[in-house]
Structure 1
């Protein structure tokens, strides 16, 4: 091995005798390819004997203190390396020799900051007692208290409280209590809160310690912060009025969600201008059910500015349709069971998508029940919303109208001029086959005549005459039972008529648009 390299090896391995002989021919100022002197190597390895030997050899130099504080390529001094590796006895020797305990390396760390970063609280305490400056910060403007709180070093945090600066902020404007909450260190949060740390102080992104603890899903930190007066109604986003409960709704800790629901402002539940956490909970059915159980409305308030929809149900249907996120179906079911109404926007989301429409109708039929006395498929408000959406989606009605009628929608509900003007010819025929076409009001007859005249629809010959008796009979039966009962129950099979008439009574002889 090259004798120059042997000097560094001897220092690193603690071979004091060999080091003494080699230093007769080589300088203690020599550096290896990492910029380390023999003192760096000995200090980092904790070889106190070699450290003393090197210091003795360097003492004859007129720049002894400068040598002790020589920086390696990474900016670290010998005392830094010794502290970083936990060699306290070496640190004390170097400090006696004039080492600067507060010199930073190229990453902005002092020996004290490095000790805390590397989970060496005992070394950190010793360095503080040796005069290390606790308020120096790293490149991210994080002090020793910041790092100790983030690491959960509660004993060190308690010690650092005597030096003040509880609410010192790092580059992201986060304080020690924020970092403790963000990492789920309940004991550190408790210590800092008891010492008077600001529990509502906001980071650069407006997030609070309570929001941070919520995102960390730390029940204990959330409880400590609330106990010390943290305000759950502080807006934690510059983009929209997001509170801690909104973050909880997207995560998986039901206990935190319930705890925040109990203290969050009541206006959040339905007041205009507020945002219900029900929207955020759609990704997690368990959290959605928990919110509804806590009294939040399944309809909530319209939030077009934030979610671009008018209800949580519309958002769930949008995700199912546009993003093919069918797992939102569970949330759709929960909302509908809880009484969420189908708005015009809901229909606009699902009518163009047969899969989503099928799931929606299946759930609605299940919710409404079966048999005589069951409630209608749609409420009056929902029916009006459907008519409005149907007009806008009229050209594609052939793909969604059969599903609605087969689920029990009264076809007469869609006999409005605007709809009849825009549906395709085969869809128009299909709809008329389901009603008594001889009793259509004059405005509707005018639409049919105009379409016939413009050759956008050619009526079958039988539609020009009075409906046959068998058709009028089944219409009467449907009117008596209700279309939703007739089309979605086993009521027909219980009628005292020949089995061959069952399909006829269910309008199975009428061809749906696109069928052959």
Structure 2
């Protein structure tokens, strides 16, 4: 909690912890914290009790109250508690009764974030449908997308992407601050694409790329590779090879237009680099990709997707193009199927992005 004794009075440890939490973080008035029935009902998923309590104005006025409650949790709202426990019916009821979906707890975590962390897809979907920010809170260093990518919850990641979650990361302290006053990317560890590869979550890795994640740095902000931690990967492809990921990861990065020249190793071999050994098949795929020019179809697909931008990729199905080409642009169909519908027409139409919707 407090750092370096910066607060006056007794420290937060010991028998006075609950009182200290109340003093620092609870909503006022403090005496109301003694009545935790609303929060307790949310914790155990007691929907009838929630219905009964919220018939009273005194409880309706406290629906967004952060309280230290009997189970010893940090101060948080009934919605945050219900989302953590995965009681979807209670989450839905609290929202309909006026609970604010994006209130944060003392750690800067939203109800959506804790629902994702605890693997509760239903609660996450209810919160997203109610307008919860799919990116969580700027006051918390992690995001729902990052956590879902790390643990391999592709189903939750799909829901987050469907509701507009950012699949990259932005390291500006504020949106209006420009370099050199902004914080720069100094490690790929914070990137969802990197973490999905580090934990070998191939399905999440592919979903992020399909949703427009940057295949090189997975970052919106400025990148200073010279400032990267010594010995750390210099780009996502470098990370994929270092972590011993299978060839499918390399193939996906190649398909999605990764810059293969960013990998600085002069000689790539199966010897150990870091904690894992390079996968020989993945290494072979990488070497072949770097030695052979990419096809015109592949270049066109990457160019069209970049022209659209990641926030408009979901509009591809509405484009006046043949279905095989639309599926090709979405990486739902291979190039052979597109060539079958006329290679010349595919290249011409896919490259003519002047009519792409704004």
2:237 to 245, 262, 287: 245
In the TM superposition, 1:30-179 aligns within 5 A as: 70-72=32-34, 77-97=36-56, 98-99=58-59, 100-106=62-68, 107-161=74-128, 162-179=130-147
Which range moved further: 182-191 or 253-262? 253-262
Distance 1:212 1:136 in 2: 27
Residue 280 (structure 2) aligns with: 289
CA contact (8 A) 1:269 1:296 kept: no
- Residue 157 of structure 1 deviates from its aligned partner by 2.6
2:152 to 179, 184, 188: 184
- Residue 113 of structure 1 deviates from its aligned partner by 0.8
Equivalenced residues, count: 228
1:403-445 CA distance string (max 9 Å, x none): xxxxxxxxxxxxxxxxxxxxxxxxxxxxxxxxxxxxxxxxxxx
Residue 6 (structure 1) aligns with: none
Change (3 A) 1:155 1:292: same
Residue 207 (structure 2) aligns with: 224
CA contact (8 A) 1:244 1:260 kept: no
List runs of 5+ in structure 2 lacking aligned partners: 1-16, 19-28, 69-73, 172-184, 220-224, 289-358
1:310-366 CA distance string (max 9 Å, x none): xxxxxxxxxxxxxxxxxxxxxxxxxxxxxxxxxxxxxxxxxxxxxxxxxxxxxxxxx
Distance 1:94 1:79 in 2: 7
Residue 214 (structure 1) aligns with: 197
In the TM superposition, 1:268-417 aligns within 5 A as: 268-270=262-264, 281=273, 283-285=275-277, 287-296=278-287
1:490-509 CA distance string (max 9 Å, x none): xxxxxxxxxxxxxxxxxxxx
- Residue 135 of structure 1 deviates from its aligned partner by 1.0
Choose 1 or 2 for highest CA Rg. 1
Q: What TM-score do you get using the length of structure 2 for normalisation?
A: 0.54
Secondary structure of the residue that 2:200 maps to in structure 1? coil
1:150-188 CA distance string (max 9 Å, x none): 333333333323415233435443332222222211122
Distance 2:109 2:164 in 1: 19
Secondary structure of the residue that 1:200 maps to in structure 2? coil
Residue 200 (structure 1) aligns with: 168
CA RMSD of aligned residues (A): 3.5
Q: Which has the higher contact order (CA 8 A, sep 6+)?
A: 2
Distance 2:113 2:82 in 1: 13
